[in-house]
A and B are shown apart, each in its own frame.
Chain A
């Protein structure tokens, strides 16, 4: 239980930190920020890798989680990078 309280603390602090970090973003970067944040939400991949394997059902669920999180991670970072490379100042 103490563990949960501690991690809950981490959760709250991170949210506040996030709100502070990105409160003033120029509108040019709204899409890249969203897409970049979207790629970060692919961190679920780490969670998927931590799943345990017990039987076929669990393997299928783990495979699905890894597959979709990987699409999110690779697709998210690449699309963000592609977008940012277009933003140029002449």
Chain B
């Protein structure tokens, strides 16, 4: 008996040390200079917490070793093989697996005899959050990797959405079940039905949300996986689970709020309304002549420019143009041009998506600027090159009240002396709003694949 308590004391001390390391680790992760060390520190915290837990085990050691080795191998292979452009869906997938783990933990706890009322409530909450995180993340994975095309409006989506709404009363029922089972007719195997509803609800939660809103959804799912872990910690009376889970929950929440602010929308609007229902009012008919330009002419203008601002968007990721963009940037700098990159927080499909892509292409991160840094001096920029971005440079957001995106902070490229817009066609952006930028006096459209267009400019520079 004494032996067991000793082990528990050691475990709790190590858990406290781990918690401190997690806290410091995530703090360091938020600063450029210390981010790498922060990640190592948090990995060390994980290693210690897992290691000390292994001092007292009830499960067969074979199962544990098989699970960790197999899981570790799969995770490592995915992490090392994945292309940097596939990072958003990879993060979504890993996140889903974390949610699934908490879901299974709570399921296993439910099978234990004699849970107290409070434990019962925690089990149901953990299952609900973990399950929604899991299936929601899988749908986010499908959407980000473009394997899943179903969106808002289709009948299948609506069926899943109704399950999402059904899941809320179902959650209340299963939480109350032990207390009301004498008064209402019992539903046989209600627990298994609840497991199923939860998983389907997660699909209905994410399915109607469009690609451009994915940065918000990923951050939110990230937050939920942390909260699920924290609830599992309450359930198992384990403090390191609570601390680490809460930290993840908080950091995901902050990112969610930052993303929502960058779109000037509330989180509920993003999750449950979307652009489609509000877009009708906006699409004002102010067409005009667009002025196309060839890569040759673009080169001549760029050659004489003294400052260039590159504004990338999701289109750059799709075209995989980040490497030629970096090459063009370097050639411009050799030519004596000042080059900066204007990065909008929600450009792309996850928070910081453009930063990762440009970092992969070896663009120094001190060249990357946020909208607030570049907007005040925009009128001194000779050429702003918009690569596959649309809504984040739409002047309607500042000029046209009543536009669905009015009030969203944008990169005000229309104030630059000349704007090149690299685009495949004239289709509107994710928000479905026409972009008056294309018709502005100082705008030139360079139609075609961004990678090819920039490749041509680069070739001209080399000649």
Contact = CB atoms under 8 A, between A and B. Distances in A.
A8 to B, nearest CB: 7
Given A76-B94, A87-B32, A43 B245 contact: yes
Interface string B63-104: 110111011111110111010100100110011011011101
B91 to A, nearest CB: 5
B118 interface: yes
A69 B101 contact: yes
Interface stretch (B52-60, B265-273, B377-385, B416-424): B52-60
Interface string A47-90: 11111111001110111111111111111111111111111111
Nearest to A13: B246
Contacts of B360: 86
Contacts of B70: 67, 70
A75 B43 contact: no
B107 interface: yes
Contacts of A52: 58-59, 108, 112
Given A74-B76, A78-B75, A86-B356, A27 B87 contact: no
Nearest to B65: A66
A74 B63 contact: no
A88 B365 CA distance: 6
Interface size class of A (residues with CB under 8 A): 35 or more
A77 B58 CA distance: 27
Given A11-B234, A22-B250, A62-B59, A69 B27 contact: no
A76 to B, nearest CB: 5
Contacts of A8: 234
A36 B42 contact: yes
A28 B353 CA distance: 9
A41 B248 contact: yes
A17 B251 CA distance: 10
B264 interface: no
B211 interface: no
A51 B58 contact: yes
Given A15-B246, A18-B246, A86-B359, A46 B49 contact: yes
B111 A57 contact: yes
B102 A44 contact: yes
A35 B50 CA distance: 20
A72 B95 CA distance: 7
B365 A89 contact: yes
Contacts of B53: 46, 49-50
Contacts of B210: none
A30 to B, nearest CB: 3
Given A10-B243, A79-B90, A61 B107 contact: yes
Interface of A: 1, 3-4, 7-8, 10-11, 14-19, 21-54, 57-59, 61-90
Given A34-B351, A52-B59, 12 more contacts: A11-B246, A14-B247, A34-B219, A38-B248, A44-B228, A59-B63, A62-B59, A73-B71, A75-B94, A83-B84, A83-B356, A88-B359
